[in-house]
Chains A and B, each alone.
Chain A
Amino acid sequence: MNLQQRRNAKLTIRDDLNFLSTVQDFIENTALTFGLGQNEALALTLAGEEIFNYLCTSVKPMAEIEISCYEGGYYAALNFNLPIQNFALRAFNLTATINIDDDKSLDEMGLVIASRMVDHLQISQSDSGRLQLSLRKEKKYPKAAENNRTASTPLTEEFSIVTPDAEELKFFISESRHCTAPDLLPQEFCYPGKIVDMVNAGDYRAAIVRDAGGRIGGGIIWFWSSSKMVECNGPYILAEDASPAISQNLRQSMAEALLEHCLNAIAKSSAVGLLNRSPGSDLPRHHFESLGSALEFHNTTAPTEIEALFRQMQEDPGAIAWAHPDLEPFLRREYQRLTLPREIRLISDSGESPADFSVLASEFDRSRQKVTLQPLWAGNDMEKSIADHLALFANEELNNIFFVVDLGKSWQAASFPGLSKNGFTPRLLLPYGGKGDLLLLQKIGASS
């Protein structure tokens, strides 16, 4: 399935609660048509209902709302798109209509309820000022069976890199789970059928190494995580370390060939960088540079440190990074360490009146107990707004809280003091991840 083949349906409707049942029917029918099971379709419908209800009662855009449903192959996506004046943006703070100290009022928060029912929820604002709420509900896939490892026979020195068919892909996924530490594999690897659908949908790309005898020696998967960034999982070589099935040289050349295949596939695209967030032992590290690391907190086990390895795909033309003076030492140190040509421009307070309120967009990834905040609007209540969001997340079992600042946008730099006071620490810089470099901050401390 490529982009052209993806089906979609669109409903344009006024912000009027009398249309609620029309909206419900539209979402449920399209979700079922796009292949979601009954339970998943119902969850998406309930989430959509909460959003529509919230838009009509709290946001009141006094305009038509575009509701579109997209077929993603392994998921159905639901988007609400509406024009919005800046003064009304405030309603998109998750904390807009609730009293953080009152547990009961949390249940009245439509956006939070919606976020619990779907796999991803994202609030974003386009350059033209339109606001988009994007929800995604994935199909349910059977977990991979805990099969015994297929007996490994020695691989031949000759091999080629090919695009796998569905069965080859599932074989690679299944075998890689035997040869790689679980924390180095993406969660999707527990669901081989999902990976096949992700590849068929064009969201994931995969390549495997096949030896002269037709045996699969390893593979790599990559995907676009934003319009400028590609991430890869792997390469994974299907043999335990020091296995007699494969010499160290062959192992390295297979991994190198897989990575080069991925690099060449995106070499002439708009990708500015390739990221690897879980570098395993087979990853040819000399292709990458380390951006730094973030911690991943779990409910029961100790946090794991996730290193982000990065490689630029294009020559760096240099850029401007806007920063609050308190952030300058970190940026100078990191830009120096990474040899990134940046002109740091400090924002200043010249007595101008700040906006009255801030707006934070939230992106949930419940499977990882993760939420990422990004400023949509900066005002003089930034510190409090962040604190309110943190209090809300404490009740939502979200252990991994991140904040992303786009250093290419001067107004976002003002967020830093509020972040710092709320326990956020700068973790790493992602070059050209947004309009400029993205600074990833992580909340370390009490609620994590």
Chain B
Amino acid sequence: MNPIAAPLEDLVPEYIRHFEAYIPSKPDDELKKLYGCDPLYRLNNNENPLGPPAAARPIIEHFAAPGAAIYPSGDAYHLRRALGEKFSMNPDQFLVGNGANEVIAFVIKAFCQEGDNIVTADKTFAVYEWIAEFSGFSAHLTPLLDFGFDAEAMLNAIDKRTKILFICNPNNPTGTYWNREQLINFMDRVNGRQIVVIDEAYCEFVEQEDFPDAMELIRQYPNLVVFRTFSKMYALAGLRIGYLAGSLEVVDIIRRTCVVYSVNTLAQRAALKALNDDQHIIDTRNHIRKEKARLLPLLKKLGLKYQSGEGCFVMIHLPMSDTLAYRKLMARGVMIRSMTGFRFPNWIRVSIGSSQAMTAFVKALTELIEQTSQ
């Protein structure tokens, strides 16, 4: 009997039909084979080269097998209590997700319905735009101004159907940030009419005095939602855990769209321990500072324009196609992020990795530039 073909044209919504799936890179062993390189330094995902905080390591190393048979806490009970204590907030003001990507989806699902839109920048973390579009909502994109979010343009892009404004602070990939005054001014002008999401995935890397504490502003602005992650500074990317915080009223609404039991036990336990490991933050910041101080003069020496702000990454403008540079650097054992997909053609973003990885990157980049200029 022939299988019955599903009438996909009728079943699939228009906005899914035209949506392109994200294809993650292949595992290291496959890439090494294809590109003929070994070792391969991954400097593409802004991972913390120091690894998980010392306080969390024993939890990961000694996770007992029987624990895998038991469902995790469905709403990350203990972690939310710890977050409440750390930020002097009610535990119910937090929702924990399977990475920050999942909490982005919670917020969009909670507030958008057919015909609604979100506003964000055209050159920022792509997942706000992706999730909105594959959920059937449009994304109003505003150009960056001097590599930073343009508050005026975002306010102008708001229409009657705008429900959420997404700001990545500091911005991935440019590292620019709104200071406290800029953020407060923006919140005042939005005047509570839309939900404002401040994605602080990289906030723990920022050492600037005027960087705002968005958690503290939630008291003043009940329409403010803050995203944080354990993937970057806390180096738990492989366990997938992130969270959002907001006013009780707003979080109560978002909770209705929240997938429970999506965060595994090990992730919850490791995050709980990582949360108060302040020494890990100090050590990581020292490492990033030191490596950036080594990298930036070398880029200057190579005559390359770069954009380095807050965060564990630097954007570099190349005199060649970034996707070609990706291949050539891969062949030399270094994986960076090409930025065409971020709408920054001919730019690459390099994560600050271990000293060894950064040395390999500089060597490979130098060879590439010298080869190009010949």
Question: Does chain A have a CB within 8 A of B330?
Answer: yes
The answer to whether A314 and B319 have CB atoms under 8 Å apart is no
CB contacts (< 8 Å) of A263 on chain B: these are: 340, 343, 345
Q: Which of A174-182, A236-244, A266-274, A368-376 lies at the binding interface?
A: A266-274
Contact with A along B329-341 (1 / 0, CB 8 A): 0110000011011
B346–A339 touching, CB < 8 Å? no
Given A263-B340, A287-B346, A339-B331: A311 touches B321 (CB 8 Å cut-off): yes
- C-alpha gap A65/B30 in the complex (Å): 45
- CB within 8 Å of A: which of B1-54? 5, 20, 23, 25-26, 30-31, 33-36
B3 to chain A, nearest CB (A): 11
Give Cα A318–Cα B33 distance, bound, in whole angstroms. Answer: 10
Query: Taking A268-B20, A287-B346, A339-B327 as contacts, is the C-beta distance between A312 and B321 under 8 angstroms?
Result: yes
B26-A267 in contact (CB<8A): no
Q: Which A residues are in CB contact (< 8 Å) with B330?
A: 341
Complex alpha-carbon distance, A270 and B22, angstroms: 10
A312 to B346, CA, bound (A): 11
A286 at the interface (CB under 8 A from B): yes
Task: Compute how far the CA of A79 lies from the CA of B132 in the bound complex, rounded to whole angstroms.
Answer: 36
Contact (Cβ within 8 A) A314 B323? yes
* Interface residue A188 (Cβ < 8 Å from any Cβ of B): no
Is B306 engaged at the interface, CB distance under 8 Å to the other chain? no
Give the chain B neighbours of A289 by CB distance below 8 A: 321, 324
Best-surrounded residue of A260, A267, A314 (most CB of chain B within 10 A)? A267
Q: Given that A288-B321, A289-B321 are contacting pairs, would A318 and B346 also be in contact in the complex, using a CB cutoff of 8 Å?
A: no
Q: How far is the CA of A315 from the CA of B324 in the complex (A)?
A: 8
Contact B25 A264 (CB under 8 A): no
| Residues from chain A with Cβ under 8 Å of B331 in the complex | 339, 341
Let me know if B163 is at the binding interface, CB within 8 A. no
Report chain B residues within 8 Å CB of A312. Answer: 321, 323-324, 327, 340
Per the 8 Å Cβ criterion, residues 328-362 of B in contact with A are 328, 330-331, 337-338, 340-343, 345-346
Give chain A interface residues in 245-259, CB to chain B under 8 Å.
Answer: 259
Asked if B345 and A317 make an inter-chain contact with CB atoms under 8 angstroms apart, the answer reads no
Whether A317 contacts B321 by the Cβ 8 Å rule is no
Q: In this assembly, does A340 line the interface, its C-beta being within 8 Å of a C-beta of chain B?
A: yes
Complex Cα spacing A28 to B113, Å? 44
CA distance A9 to B342 in the complex (A): 40
Tell me whether A343 is interfacial, beta carbon within 8 Å: yes
CA distance A113 to B254 in the complex (A): 64
Interface positions, chain A 319-371, Cβ under 8 Å from B, are 339-343
* A316 engages B345 (CB within 8 Å): no
Contact between A339 and B34 (Cβ–Cβ < 8 Å)?
no
User: For the complex, is B253 an interface residue (Cβ under 8 Å from A)?
Assistant: no
> B326 contacts A286, CB within 8 Å?
no
Decide if A311 touches B319 in the complex (CB within 8 Å).
Answer: no
Contacts of A342 in B (CB 8 A): 34
Cα–Cα, bound, A128→B324 (Å): 35
Instruction: Flag whether A313 is at the interface (Cβ < 8 A).
Output: yes
Bound-state CA distance A289–B324 (Å) is 8
Query: Which residues between 96 and 152 of chain B lie within 8 Å of chain A, taking CB atoms?
Result: 122, 126, 129
- Whether B321 pairs with A286 at a CB distance below 8 angstroms is yes
Query: Contact at B34–A343, with CB atoms within 8 Å?
Result: yes
B320 within 8 A of A: yes
B35, A286: Cβ atoms closer than 8 Å: no
Among B232-284, those with CB < 8 Å from A are none
Q: Do A128 and B5 touch (CB < 8 A)?
A: yes
Contacts of A270 in B (CB 8 A): 20
B335's nearest neighbour on chain A, judged by CB, is A315
Given A287-B346, A288-B321, A318-B26: A339 and B328 within 8 A (CB)? yes
What are the residues of chain A within 8 A of B320 when measuring CB–CB?
286-287
A316 vs B337: C-alpha distance when bound (angstroms): 11
Distance between B179 CB and nearest chain A CB, rounded to angstroms: 28
Q: Which residues of A contact B338 (CB under 8 A)?
A: 314-315
Across-interface contacts of A315 in B (CB, < 8 A):
25, 323, 326, 337-338
Q: What is the bound-complex CA distance between A339 and B31, given in angstroms? A: 13
Interface size on A, residues (CB 8 A): 26
B365 to chain A, nearest CB (A): 15
The interface residues of chain A lying within 8 Å CB-to-CB of B337 are: 315
Whose C-beta in chain A lies nearest to the C-beta of B343? A264
For the complex, give the distance between the alpha carbons of A314 and B322 in Å.
Answer: 9
B31 to chain A: closest residue by CB = A318
Kindly report which residue of chain B lies nearest to residue A343, judged by CB atoms. B34
Q: Which residues of A contact B321 (CB under 8 A)?
A: 286-289, 311-312
**Cα of A343 to Cα of B95 in the assembled complex, Å:** 45
Contacts A287-B321, A342-B34 hold; do A264 and B345 have CB atoms under 8 A apart?
A: yes
Is there an interface contact between B340 and A313, defined as CB atoms closer than 8 Å?
yes
In the bound complex, CA of A224 to CA of B324 (Å): 21
A-chain residues with CB within 8 Å of residue B36 when the two chains form the complex: 341
With A263-B345, A267-B342 already in contact, the answer to whether A316 and B327 are too (CB < 8 A) is yes
By beta carbon, the residue of chain A nearest B342 is A267
| Residue in A270, A341, A342 whose Cβ sees the most chain B Cβ within 10 Å | A341
In whole angstroms, what is the CA distance A313 to B31 when docked? 19
User: B346: which of A286, A317, A341 is its contact (CB, 8 Å)?
Assistant: A286
The residue on A at minimum CB distance from B372 is: A286
Contacts of A128 in B (CB 8 A): 5
User: Chain A residue with minimal CB distance to B326?
Assistant: A315
The residue of chain A having its C-beta at the shortest distance from the C-beta of B126 within the complex is A268
State A341–B25 Cα separation when bound (angstroms): 13
* Cβ 8 A contact of A317, one of B20, B23, B126: B23
A128 and B7 CA atoms in complex are apart in Å by: 13
Tell me how far the C-beta of B342 lies from the nearest C-beta in chain A, rounded to whole angstroms.
Answer: 7
Complex Cα–Cα for A342 and B326 (A)? 15
Query: Would you call B126 and A313 a contact (CB within 8 A)?
Result: no
Q: How far is the CB of A309 from chain B (nearest CB, A)?
A: 10
Report the minimum CB–CB distance from B186 to chain A (whole Å). Answer: 25
Nearest opposing residue in chain A for B30, CB measure: A318
Q: How far is the CA of A259 from the CA of B33 in the complex (A)?
A: 34
Distance from B185 Cβ to chain A, minimum over Cβ atoms (Å): 27
Distance between A273 CB and nearest chain B CB, rounded to angstroms: 9
Whether A267 lies near B23 (C-beta < 8 A) is: no
B residues less than 8 Å from A287 (CB atoms): 320-321, 345-346
Nearest-neighbor residue (CB-CB) of B339 within chain A = A267
The answer to whether A339 touches B324, judged by C-beta atoms less than 8 angstroms apart, is yes
Whether the Cβ atoms of B26 and A316 lie closer than 8 Å is no
Bound-state Cα–Cα, A286 to B342, Å: 19
Choose from A286, A317, A343 the contact partner of B25 (Cβ within 8 Å).
Answer: A317
For A273, the closest partner residue in chain B by CB is: B323
Q: Are B23 and A269 in contact, CB atoms less than 8 angstroms apart?
A: no
Can you spell out 13 A-B residue pairs with CB atoms less than 8 angstroms apart? Answer: A128-B5, A263-B340, A263-B345, A268-B126, A269-B20, A286-B319, A286-B320, A287-B321, A289-B321, A289-B324, A318-B35, A339-B327, A339-B328
Partner-A contacts on B (CB < 8 A): 5, 20, 23, 25-26, 30-31, 33-36, 122, 126, 129, 319-321, 323-324, 326-328, 330-331, 337-338, 340-343, 345-346
Q: Using a CB–CB distance below 8 Å, which chain A residues touch chain B?
A: 128, 259-260, 263-264, 267-270, 286-289, 311-318, 339-343
In order of increasing CB-CB distance, the 5 nearest A-B pairs are A318-B34, A312-B323, A341-B34, A270-B20, A264-B343
